Amino acid sequence: MALTELTGNLHMHTPYSDGEWHHADIAEAALRAGLDFIIVTDHNVWVDGVTPYHSSDDGKRRVLVLTGEEVHDQALQPQSNHLLVYNAGREVAALAHDPQQLLDGVNAAGGLSFLAHPFDSTAPLVDYDPIHWRRWDATGFTGIELWNYMSEFVGLVTSPAAALKYGANPELGIKGPRAETLNKWDELTAAGRRIVAIGNSDAHGATYHKFGRSAVIFPYEMLFRAVNTHVLLSNELTNNAEHDSNRIYTALREGHCFVGYDAPGPTRGFRFSAQGEKGSAIMGDEVVAGAGVTLQVSAPAKAEIQLLRNGKPVAQKLADTNLTHITSTPGAYRVEVYTVFKGERRGWIFSNPIYIR
């Protein structure tokens, strides 16, 4: 089955909360960066009525602009439990005082929810309190934000020298999702839960004056060329925004997506699939173990490919575009791909799991 791949970024802010640019200008930046869709997520406000499709001047490309919301309890100190909400179709911030009530409300509205930067970075130099997810007892969330670019960047600012170095060239410091986040994800999926991972910019378009004496600038466009979520659809998009957004949300809910760091090289084209005696599966799906399942990985360029089961390595290729592994052992299987960029080994692609049952 030929799949349609859409590159998207699902976490960013406008002046409706603490971002710099409005939707139309962010859409232009997304077009220039080659994105197919974005979901704008202002803090505690769902901005409805945004023009969905924006086209490039030559009419050859377009980007779909959707709006969700990043919800948190504004009375809670220190700040915790930021939740990305998509497709709820209504304002849900009033439920934020109780994460379980919020998750239940999102589900009742047919929405999706992802724990934003669940293990955030600490940055003592800039007096920044990490905003962790603290309510792991709450259930019913769709997934987690596995990799948040701005959260990772904040963690690099450990000294004035580091602020100068990484402020001038953030890609020198960006390495991959936090180990705690990966471990927690593996713990949940090994216990039998289906947890979808996404990766985002958390773009604000802001200039960070606090980091030492350097003015650190993170334009939307630069961030849209970095950590993205690539979604796989079974059909092409139409011109109907409601229809198309439903396709995207369904694919996200199913985990038919992977996290790609597109700065070292385009991650478009990555695939992870399974063939069992009772059918085939792509990322996010379940497949019956039966007499054996063939797992197949295809990377867009030669790279280090790691296949993990419940978080433990089971197969690897050090410099290849393909990996094949046959197994009848149940578990959550996922792929990490590493590449060398700016002289160092860096996380490049993180797949969603295929669940062998």
Per CB under 5 A, residues contacting Zn ion are 70, 82, 116, 202
Q: Is the Cβ of residue 200 or residue 351 nearer to Zn ion in the bound state?
A: 200
Q: Which is nearer to Zn ion, 202 or 221 (CB)?
A: 202
Q: Which of 151, 339 has the CB closer to Zn ion?
A: 151
Q: Which is nearer to Zn ion, 121 or 306 (CB)?
A: 121
Residues in the chain, how many? 357
Question: How many helices (H) and strands (E) are present in the chain, helices listed first?
Answer: 7, 21
Rounded distance between C-alpha atoms, residue 113 and residue 118, angstroms: 13
For residue 79, the minimal CB distance to Zn ion (Å) is: 8
Q: How far is the CB of 193 from Zn ion (least distance, A)?
A: 23
Omega before 78 within 30 of 0, i.e. cis: yes
Cβ(303)–Cβ(337) under 8 Å?
A: yes
Closest approach of Zn ion to the CB of residue 67, in Å = 14
Of 145, 128, 136, 100, the closest CA to residue 9 belongs to 145
Are 233 and 248 in contact by the 8 Å Cβ rule? The answer is: yes
Task: For the CB of residue 254, give the shortest distance to Zn ion in the complex, in Å.
Answer: 24
Strand duo 293-309 + 271-276: pairing: antiparallel
Q: Compute the least distance from the CB of residue 18 to Zn ion, in Å.
A: 8
Output 66 or 274, the one with its CB closest to Zn ion.
66
CB 70 to Zn ion: min, Å: 5
- Compute the distance between CA of residue 68 and CA of residue 162 in angstroms, rounded to an integer: 34
Residue bearing tokens 């934003």: 116
Q: Which is nearer to Zn ion, 149 or 185 (CB)?
A: 149
Q: Which residues of 227-237 are buried (b: 16+ CB within 10 A; e: fewer)?
A: bbbbbbbeeeb
CB nearer to Zn ion: give 86 or 355.
86
Q: Give the CB-nearest residue to Zn ion.
A: 82
Provide the CB-side half-sphere exposure for 22 (13 A, CA): 3
Residue 262: both structure tokens together:
């597109």
As measured in angstroms, the least distance from the Cβ of 154 to Zn ion is 11
